[in-house]
A and B are shown apart, each in its own frame.
Chain A
């Protein structure tokens, strides 16, 4: 069975501090992982996916198969980063939808 775990419901950090949002997954095959961001009452937006290995808005995430993790990181938080962040695992190799974690509410304090 597929499962995505985001252990922190809420994470509060000060502006300029480093941010790390944790994500662990459970999947027997080769995982395809995503991070989505949802700003207040808006649609979910794709932030990044591990296949593309790109950095968006200063965020990066590295897939660690040994630890089954895909943590999201940013060296210096900005106030506009405040949002809900969802880690997601592609079902069936990515073509059959996504299994989402419960999400982490990131609050950046001034």
Chain B
């Protein structure tokens, strides 16, 4: 397995534009998590899915953020409109109900100018 795959690796966009981050979890994993990493706040859990269903989105900072998981092999995190304070590294992770820990993707480094 190629692990958790995220795209793009880097994204630079202008304030106000829509940004879509993508994640492909490990095949067979039934849980998917989106994290945001910043210098100030460290790693924060934004939202997670179990069997494609959103379970807890209390970490999503505002309505500008939305996430979907249309099937077991794909998830998106969308920011619309983007703002400079959204600049961060966004990580996706997957797990089999927590058994064996969590596997992280390489992250998407987002810069909003």
Taking a contact as CB atoms under 8 Å apart, the answer to whether A46 and B102 are in contact is yes
Enumerate chain B residues within 8 angstroms of A96, measured Cβ to Cβ.
48, 55-56, 98
Task: Give the bracket for the number of chain A residues in contact with chain B.
Answer: 20 to 34
A48 smallest CB distance to B (angstroms): 9
Q: Bound state CA distance, A94 and B45, in angstroms?
A: 14
Q: Bound state CA distance, A36 and B48, in angstroms?
A: 19
Number of A-B contacts (CB under 8 A): 50
Asked whether any CB of chain B lies closer than 8 Å to the CB of A86, the reply is: yes
Q: Bound state CA distance, A103 and B104, in angstroms?
A: 16
Q: Would you list which residues of chain B between 59 and 111 have a CB under 8 Å from chain A?
A: 91, 93, 95, 97-98, 101-107
Tell me which of A10-18, A37-45, A59-67, A73-81 binds B.
A37-45
Q: Bound state CA distance, A96 and B105, in angstroms?
A: 18
Taking a contact as CB atoms under 8 Å apart, the answer to whether B106 and A43 are in contact is yes
Asked whether any CB of chain B lies closer than 8 Å to the CB of A95, the reply is: yes
Q: Would you list which residues of chain A between 71 and 99 have a CB under 8 Å from chain B?
A: 86, 90-91, 93-99
Q: List residues of A whose CB falls within 8 A of some B CB.
A: 32, 34, 36, 42-46, 49, 86, 90-91, 93-103
Q: List residues of B whose CB falls within 8 A of some A CB.
A: 31, 33, 42-43, 45, 48, 55-56, 91, 93, 95, 97-98, 101-107
Pairs across A and B, CB under 8 Å, 23 listed? A34-B101, A34-B102, A43-B104, A43-B107, A44-B93, A45-B104, A46-B101, A49-B101, A86-B42, A93-B98, A95-B95, A95-B97, A96-B48, A96-B98, A97-B45, A97-B48, A97-B56, A97-B102, A98-B45, A100-B43, A101-B42, A103-B42, A103-B43
